Structure 1
């Protein structure tokens, strides 16, 4: 069919997670609650770290950045879904959808890069404690975060520009609550070979690089920890990694369940897994990192008492 004679899509329809109005009402309340808690929790973590000079260390610098990213990550997808429910309008403009795709890719990858940087920080702290301050200099910390932002934005720009080159015809219904790149890509009436190739090559490298760095960091950590003479020393060393490992398992477990499969097999289970790393992970991160962290709890108490 001649592409010029096709009806070009100017908006997409976000069908959400359920087609039933009763379930949509329940999901609206649940997502609204989770979004509010996510914003408050991550904002408090960021504020506590910023206001307490005792927390101006590499570990908490990376954690503050993670809180900012998680706040933005949730804000890319949830508010639009909530507004659409209130207005009873499931539409999102074409450019709005492309913007969601760009920021979704950026913040997803940024989460992964920050988790890998935090793993490296723990590796240096446990394996080279005497040289920690020399290695993890402020300039290096800033450089690691800035480089991560640069790579993730360029990667998102690549995929968004390739997506914009595609044609979308009569089918504009996205079976999701936001413009997830995979479901949107399936709607195109153009040849998506280049897009798929970039997803599995460039996207694979961007995804696997921080994941491999995390595995390598913890492999070195565990090999060094097991050499400690006392069980108490082993428990103390591993306890500092518990929160981070929990977040990594939740985040990468959900992503591996969705994006390591062909896009043609995208299903309800994949949608649930997407909700886990786009909504649940940013929600639980502040609690995971604060409940067992005395420094964070002390800083939060100071912050609350100061208010």
Structure 2
């Protein structure tokens, strides 16, 4: 198996599961550079993971041994860094969301296609064991026709989280709970049930947080076949709980709780997929296993090696961001639900 030369750009908290996954994938990948701006972060990262570090983004991207770049910067830098990578002929694996606005997200996806480079997006919940099994069951028609569905993300972030510079702001993050936290579960939900339309929505900022963007959102959705669905996402649920996706079909029901799955058929059969219960839904944002990250990165490496699209393309991530934007637009059109 040919090893792929990688540069890792951005050494904040998001780099931890990526760096750990890359260590486990050492037979498939050659990490040439880890790029950051903070001397303290560079020193700590090098001591922990033993990868070469630099502050020179241009030199790292220009290294002829680098075929792909993993971009883990704040969202408002994604477009600029990705464009530099595409110009240098590098493939890109991009941390969610694509960018801070839908227009910038579209520009990024279009740039990858123009450059004929592979663009993958880190929406790793699709690689959880329960999600993989549920997709198989839906593809095989084992649950029958979907009659209703729901998605809930009852997470918690303390005020200290939002006191960090840029967090929960439009300028750096582009949004609040929907674009920053719930995007993973919304993306998985949309990929399982298909494109949704938004019939009604509420978007607000609760008194539990001082922040620019929303920490609560709910929506009534319509599935492609006309079936109803509901969504609720928040970071204002003290202590937090695992995110849940529920699907009711004419032959049975399925419930994804975190990475695990429970299926009950109308004829009495049952199936369970047990999984690690940690989801990063509480105050410790890094409290989750790296398995899904590792599988997503391995898929991206194989996509580069095989000259194919990765499992989670820029277009897929764009469709999820478009749904989030629609929820925000509908919800904020109501005077009584504007952030306060």
Higher relative contact order (CA 8 A, sep 6+): 1
Q: TM-score, normalised by structure 1?
A: 0.30
Larger radius of gyration: 1
Q: TM-score, normalised by structure 2?
A: 0.28
Structure having the larger proportion of residues in strand: 2
Structure having the larger proportion of residues in helix: 1
